Structure 1
Amino acid sequence: MEVAEVLPDFADAFAFEEFNRMQRETVPAILEQEGNVVASAPTASGKTAIAELAICKCLDDGGTALFIAPMRALTNEKEGEWDRFEDLGYSVYVVTGERELNPRRARRADILVMTPEKVDSATRKHDSRRYDFVTDVTCCVIDEVHLLDADRRGSVLEVTISRLRRLCSPRIVALSATMKNVDDVAAWLDAPPECTFEFGDDYRPVDLETGVKTYTHGENAFADKYRRLYRALDLAEPHLREDGQALVFVASRQDTVRAAEKARDEIAERDVPMGARGDYEFHTESERLENETLRNSALDGVAFHHAGLSKNDRDLTEQWFKEGKIELLFSTSTLAWGVNLPARCVVIRDTKYHDPLEGEVDMSPLDVLQMLGRAGRPGYDDVGYGWVVADSQEADKYRRLLREGKEIESRLAESLDSHLNAEIAMGTLTDLEEVMAWLETTFYYVRGQSDPEAYGFPDLRGRVRDCLEGLVEQGFVETGDDLSIEATPLGVLASKYYLRLETAARFHAVCGPEEPDEEALLRAVAAAAEFDSVSARQSERDSINAVLVGRDTGDLDAGGRKVLAVLSGAASGSVPAELRSDAWAIRRNATRLLSALRAFLDRFASPLAANRARRLEARVENGVAGDAVGLTAIDGVGPGRASKLAKEGIATPGDVADAGVSGLVEAGLSESVAERVLEGARSLPAIEIEWGEFPDRIEVKKNDVRDVTVRNEGGPARAGISVTVNDVEMTESGTYLRSEEAVPVGVFGADEDELAYTVRVAFPELPLLPISETRTVAVV
């Protein structure tokens, strides 16, 4: 069956000319039916073409396609691959948290590529002008739908698909390489039998032999890594000697590099004939690699691959592995998802990995099956070999997995209260009956029908009622006299910022009558439930204690103290070397949480408290000193540029405006950059407080009211203006400050010798230092 015969207008969208046996069997369901499609097919059998078939059908019908990729790295990969659609006149637009969203481009896109988390965010905000494009989707392709069984992420995918179906009823095409209970997924998505496919191992282009090999577990984790590495090399060596290739999965980016370096030495010692050092052409080609360690390793036929490498280096590594120039490749799990890079032999060296936010966790069983599925090179091998290296205590668990497979389970019950709160906050659920109806649209409900005891279904209604009562008791939801349910402002904020409910409650408690200082804000974030699983290694304890010496860490456990130490170091631009391996993930999560905390303080406390959180967020993100953090509000000024200007005495946007282009050039900026920075500084608020005819004395028991003018000579912004007398707040108001605001100030002859009046202007959404001025009035 030739592509050009089936889809004459889209033949150039495919990277091949003929559909294989598996693809041919799905063509009628996708092109001639309108129903939802569910297909489980072995790795490397060509199921990506099913996604592309569905997208072509959608485009031919004039619709908009959404492709949900399981990982952010794969969204970028699809953008490159699908230039073929661009060449046919269709636009492809990737929406991820890493990129600034262009709503106009998203609205005009024919193919949207997103992660489950980004679709969740978009569907929660579908009624905003920024995200309304998501309701135009007419076909949604879920790549690797077995992500439903992933811890935390699975429930996000589940509720997001249910929500999307309620919003715009798109056609759903769900694909998976490892799906034992395909009928459950089909039942959830209402896919008819003629559109449900379960392709067995006989559809694999290459047979697969799998097994588990054990190693002797020691006391030292570092030594264990090398024991597993030598075991992996024992398994790979016979294939390398026969000009085969081996792919070894390890736990972390750092491990890929170390394992490759050690393997080069071991391969040389074993005298395995590998490498291309005599190949002058490849030697010259390898100069294109940016990573020097990778360049030296590749010449010996050994390489490593992870998401931290540049796109150039990843692309070249993949290309040379496909060409056979690289014979032994060490990789993180990224290569198991989506990237078509098979090898004759696949070895999973590490079944556990260190998550900065979770500590040591087991590799997902479905990830294990996904990785092993990469074994066998179509067109080169008759059989592929896949091995799991495990200690003897866990060997039987993995043997059972390889023998029996694994059913996909729902993870919704683990975070039902959080997802239920989100739906209520959107206004889609207003009473218990609607909650029950919503639940019936979930995979959780379908699995509950298959296994009622395991899912607590004998009393599902009671369980849901308990969940709702818990939300009411915690203040996230309120009920009406007619038993209706509605989200409170607390519930709305918890949903908007994707907070765990315990964290939202903690943030709400910070918004008390006392203004929280910077230390209280840092402690609130460090104690957030999102960091519950952070662990402090023994080697990190001394550094943590050194950072936190003399500070009150309250009830923080060891993991919380580690988070606090990382954030404190980040805010000052000096995270201790011993803490840097996890610092990136902790800082990234913390800046999101600080942004949420700012919104809580803005809503429940004061603009001044919100501004303090906003400045702290900018410091943690950029590593800039407190007195220079306002520079990061200028578009184009990051941590490096802010530090450079601060060293030259230019510490605020006002200083930038005063310095002008010439002063900025003297401070070390190029003229073109200086012009842009100056323009950015002038777009920010520039505040002057004019006291007018404010008295300097008043008689006892006399009262007077005077207007103080807050003038803004710069760009407009939300502001909070407060007036205090002798440090006691008199008034506070919020405004959108464009040009000027008159603030009435009551001057009264109190029983004091003098009164200190302070007018303070704070910007809750900008990391600018508050502006304040004080006038003293004598009481005579």
Structure 2
Amino acid sequence: MEVAEVLPEFADAFAFEEFNRMQREALPALLESDENVVASAPTASGKTALAELAICKALADGGTALFIAPMRALTNEKEDDWDRFEDLDYSVYVVTGERDLNPRRARRADILVMTPEKLDSATRKHDSRRYDFVTDIDVCVIDEVHLLDADRRGSVLEVTISRLRRLCGPRIVALSATMPNVGDVAAWLDAPEECTFEFGEEYRPVDLNAGVKTYTHGENSFADKYRRLYRALDLAEPHLREDGQSLVFVSSRQDTVQAAKKARDEIAERDIPMGARGDYDFHTESKALENDTLRNSVLDGVAFHHAGLSKNDRDLVEEWFKEGHVELLFSTSTLAWGVNLPARCVVIRDTKLHDPLEGEIDMSPLDVLQMLGRAGRPGYDDIGYGWVVCDTAEADKYRRLLRDGKEIESRLAESLATHLNAEIAMGTITDLEDVMDWLETTFYYVRGQSKPDDYDFPNLRQRVRDCLEGLVDRGFVETGEDLSIEATPLGVLTSKYYLRLDTAAHFADLCDRAESDGLAAGDVLETISTAEEFDSVSARQDERDAINAVLVGQETGDLEAGERKVLAILRGAASGSTPAELRSDAWVIRQNATRLVSALEAFLDRFVGPHAANLARRVEARIENGVAEDAVGLTAIDGVGPGRASKLATEGLTTPGDVVDAGVAGLVDAGLTEGVAEGVYEGAQSLPTIDLEWGQFPDAIATGENEVCEVTVRNVGEPARAGVRVTVNGVEMTSTNTYLRDTETVPVGVFGADADELEFTVSVAFPEEPLVPVEASRTVEVR
């Protein structure tokens, strides 16, 4: 059945000309019906085409499609892959982080691509102008719906789909690898029997011979990696000798590089005939690689692939693997979920991996099955070989997984309170009956009916009641006299900023302390370091000296090793000098930390005031840019990153006001090119600029007398929200939160007190900008 016959107007949107047997069987349900569809099928059997068919139907009907990709690395890949839709004048837009979101483009897109986490965040804010596009979706395609069973991420996907269905009722098309209980997923999504497909192994384009191989576990984990590598090469060698390709999955980006280096030596030692050093044309092509190590490696037929490589290098490795120039490829698990790169032999060298936030964890069973599914090249091989290399003690566990597959379970119970708080904060749940109605829309409820004992289903109502009482006791929710339920400001902020409940409570404690004792940058960093999001971070032995060196002379007695590591990474990031030993985890920790600091700013703004929020905003800017404390305000200027901020600060220009005063000529003198200087000057002018005028402020006052004076705060730059605070001898007198357009008059009472002199300080802070507060002081003598 040719694509051009079935969908003539979309024939160019597909990467092939004919549908295969599996795709043909699903066609009527996808194109001739509006019912929800659930299809499970073996890896590499062509599920992506089912997603594209559902999208084509929605586009043909004038609707908007949403594609939920399992991880962020794959969203950009889909954007590239679906240039084919762009060529047909349909727009594809990947919805990314908060600051990079373009709501107009999202609103006008025909195909949206999002991760479950991004969709969760967007649907929580669906009633805002920024995210209203999320309620205008006609079909939602869930790629890899078996992620419902993923630790922590699974519950996010589950509640988000339930919420989306309540918000706009889109058609749902859910795709997954082979799973034993596809019927439960169909029941959850209300997919009728004729639209539920369970394509078995007979639909695999190439038969799979999968098994488990063990290795002798030693005392040294570093040496164990090499034992597993040699085991993997033993399994790959026969195929490599027959011109077959092998794909070896390892646990980290760094390991792909190290394993490829070692494998090249071992291949030479074993005299396996591989490589293309005599191929002049390929030798020339390889010069296009940006990574030097990779360039040397591919000529020996060995390569590595991970998300940290440039797009150019990843694309070339994929192309050369498909063409056979690369015969042995080492990769992280991302490749298994994304690019269709099958190999005759697949080996999973590492079943455990180091997660920067979780420490050492077992690879998920879903990942294992997904990777093994890449074994066998359609059109080239009659059979694919897949192997799991593991310790003898775990061999039976993996044999059972390969034999029986993995039933998909709900993970909602593990984070029920967090998701329940989010629904209450959105206003979709207002009493206990609403809670039960909401639960009935979840996969958890369906799975509980299938396995009532495992899910403690008979006691469900009591569990929900206990969960609600816990939210009330901790201050996230309050109940009315009529037993109504409503979120408190704490509960609303927790949901809005996507926080775990313990972290939100931790932030609220800091706000209480800040109100009475004040706040320092160190308090912000320590609060973030001890957030629950980092509770599984561990400090390896080889990292401890570096951590101690960063934190030398600082009081961190109550912090555990993992918390000290996070604190050291944040302090290193803020100063622009993260030790080499900590860099492998630093990027992930920094990304999470900046999100958390941004949330903490909102807590401080709401519960303490603009000055406290501004302090946190400056800490966030330092973590992001690695600039000195006195120069952090420069990062508020568009086009000024860490390099330019440091260059300007070295020349004595440390604030946007200094930049405006210097003018373009002064910036050129400071080392900027004229074009850059003009842009930076314009950027500095687009920020608020404050002048403080004391007016008729006295120099002295008699004991017992008082006088009300006025201080004028004038903004000669762009309008912005500001906090104006007046202190006397360090004690706050007044504080106002205002939108400062031009002029604000602040009344200041001057009282003849017991002190010999009074120091009045007016301070203006901007909670949403990393600008250092503008301060001015006057001393009044008491006679």
Specify if TM > 0.5: yes
Deviations 1:390-412 (CA, angstroms, capped at 9, x unpaired): 01011111011001111011111
- How many angstroms apart in 1 are the aligned matches of 2:304 and 2:10? 36
Mean Cα deviation higher: 316-325 or 71-80: 71-80
Any residues of structure 2 matched to 1:251-266 within 5 Å, and which?
251-266=251-266
Aligned to 1:83: 83
The letter of the residue matching 1:278 is G
In the TM superposition, residue 526 of structure 1 has moved relative to its aligned partner by 0.8
Q: How does 1:629-708 map to 2 (within 5 A)?
A: 629-708=632-711
- Structure-1 residue corresponding to 2:605: 602
Q: What CA distance in whole angstroms lies between the structure 2 residues aligned with 1:437 and 1:709?
A: 56
Quote how far apart the aligned CAs of 1:6 are: 1.0
Distance 2:557 2:418 in 1: 27
Q: Which residue of 2 is the match for residue 767 of structure 1?
A: 770
Are the equivalent residues in 1 in contact too, given 2:214–2:392 (CA < 8 A)? yes
Deviates more, 1:26-35 or 1:566-575: 566-575
Matched residue, 1:613: 616
Distance 2:78 2:651 in 1: 45
Contact kept in structure 1, 2:215 and 2:389, CA below 8 Å:
yes
Matches within 5 A, 1:206-355: 206-355=206-355
Deviations 1:133-190 (A, max 9, x none): 1111000000001111111111111111000000000000000113221001001100
For 1:740, give the aligned amino acid: T
Q: How does 1:550-565 map to 2 (within 5 A)?
A: 550-565=553-568
1:758 to 761, 764, 774: 761
Task: Give the letter aligned to residue 287 of structure 1.
Answer: K
Separation in structure 1 between the aligned mates of residue 696 and residue 389 of structure 2, nearest angstrom: 81
Q: Which position in structure 2 is the counterpart of 1:527?
A: 530
Which residue of 1 is the match for residue 721 of structure 2?
A: 718
Mean Cα displacement is larger for which, 380-389 or 450-459?
450-459
| Cα distance in 2, alignment partners of residues 331 and 366 from structure 1 | 17
Cα deviations by residue, 1:270-322 (Å, 9 ceiling, x for unpaired): 11111001011111111111111111100110000000111111011001100
Q: Where does residue 148 of structure 2 map in the other structure?
A: 148
Report the Cα distance in structure 2 between the residues aligned to 1:173 and 1:667, rounded to whole angstroms: 58
User: What are the Cα deviations for residues 730-758 of structure 1, in whole angstroms up to 9, with x where unaligned?
Assistant: 11010011111000111112222221111
Determine the C-alpha separation between the residues in 2 that align with 1:19 and 1:451. Answer: 38
Q: Shift of residue 383 of structure 1?
A: 0.1
Gaps of 5+ in 2: none
- Distance between the aligned counterparts of 1:99 and 1:292, measured in 2? 34
SS of match in other structure, 2:749: strand
Amino acid at match of 1:168: C
* Contact residue 178 and residue 369 of structure 1 kept, 8 A: no
Distance 2:449 2:694 in 1: 71
1:743 aligns with 2:746: yes
Match in the other structure for 1:62: 62
Contact 1:607 1:734 (C-alpha < 8 Å) held by counterparts? yes
Residue 178 of structure 2 contacts residue 200 of structure 2 at CA under 8 Å; is this kept in 1? no
Q: Distance in 1 between matches of 2:533 and 2:473?
A: 22
Give the SS at the match of 1:38.
strand
SS of 2:56's equivalent in the other structure is helix
Q: Over residues 322-381 of structure 1, what are the superposed CA-to-partner deviations in whole Å (9 max), with x where a residue is unaligned? A: 011110000000110031100000000000110011100000001000000000000000
Query: For residues 646 and 178 of structure 2, what CA distance do their matches in structure 1 show?
Result: 50
1:296 alignment partner, SS class:
helix
- Name 2:571's counterpart in structure 1: 568
1:439-478 Cα offsets, whole Å, 9 max, x none, are 1101111111111121121110000000000000000000
Is the deviation greater in 547-556 or in 384-393?
547-556
- Aligned position for 1:179: 179
Equivalent in 581, 585, 588 of residue 588 of structure 2: 585
Question: In structure 1, what is the equivalent of residue 489 of structure 2?
Answer: 489
What stretches of structure 1 move > 3 A for 4+ residues in a row?
none
Q: TM-score, normalised by structure 1?
A: 0.99
Letter in 1 for 2:406: K
Deviations 1:184-216 (A, max 9, x none): 100110000000000000000000000000001
Instruction: Say which is worse superposed, 124-133 or 697-706, in terms of deviation.
Output: 697-706
- Cα deviation for residue 554 of structure 1 reads 4.6
1:677-726 per-position Cα deviation (integer Å, ceiling 9, x unaligned): 11111111111110011111122222211111001111111110011111
Amino acid of the residue matched to residue 609 of structure 1?
A
For the Cα contact (< 8 Å) 1:188–1:443, is it kept in 2? yes
Deviates more, 1:538-547 or 1:585-594: 538-547
Aligned length: 780
Letter in 1 for 2:781: A
Amino acid at match of 1:251: S
Q: 5+ unaligned residues in a row in structure 1: which ranges?
A: none
Cα 1:184–1:97 change in 2 (3 A) is same
Q: CA deviation at 1:417?
A: 0.5
Comparing 407-416 with 379-388, which one deviates more in the overlay?
407-416
Measured in 2, the distance between the counterparts of 1:166 and 1:255 equals 44
Give me the TM-score of the superposition, normalised by structure 2: 0.99
Mapped partners of 1:90, 1:443: distance in 2: 33
Q: CA deviation at 1:546?
A: 2.1
- Aligned match of 1:733: 736
Tell me the CA shift for residue 98 of structure 1.
8.0
Q: What CA distance in whole angstroms lies between the structure 1 residues aligned with 2:670 and 2:351?
A: 52
Aligned equivalents of 1:177, 1:260: Cα separation in 2: 29
8 Å CA contact 2:357, 2:533 repeated in 1: yes
Report deviation, 1:33: 1.2
Distance in 1 between residues matched to 2:648 and 2:455, nearest whole Å: 59
Structure 2: how far apart are the matches of 1:452 and 1:480? 33
Contact 1:685–1:712 (8 Å) recurs in 2? yes
Alignment correspondent of 2:115? 115
Separation in structure 2 between the aligned mates of residue 757 and residue 621 of structure 1, nearest angstrom: 34
Secondary structure of the residue that 1:51 maps to in structure 2? helix
- Aligned position for 2:52: 52
Q: Distance in 2 between matches of 1:550 and 1:286?
A: 50
Tell me, yes or no, if the aligned pair for 1:178 and 1:370 is still in contact at 8 Å.
no
3-state secondary structure, aligned to 2:385:
strand
* Alpha-carbon distance, 1:72 to partner: 1.3
> How far apart are 1:549 and its partner, in Å?
2.4
Q: Distance in 1 between matches of 2:719 and 2:156?
A: 37
Task: Measure the CA separation in 2 of the matches of 1:752 and 1:313.
Answer: 70
Could you tell me whether the CA contact under 8 Å between 1:178 and 1:366 is conserved in 2? no
CA deviation after TM superposition for structure 1 residue 99, in Å: 7.0
Counterpart in 2 of 1:405? Answer: 405
Q: 1:550 Cα shift? A: 2.8
AA paired with 1:440? Answer: E
The CA distance in 2 between the partners of 1:89 and 1:222, in whole Å, is: 52
For structure 1, which segment, 630-639 or 543-552, has the greater mean C-alpha deviation from structure 2 after superposition? 543-552
SS at match of 1:434: helix
- Counterparts of 2:268 and 2:87, CA distance in 1: 47
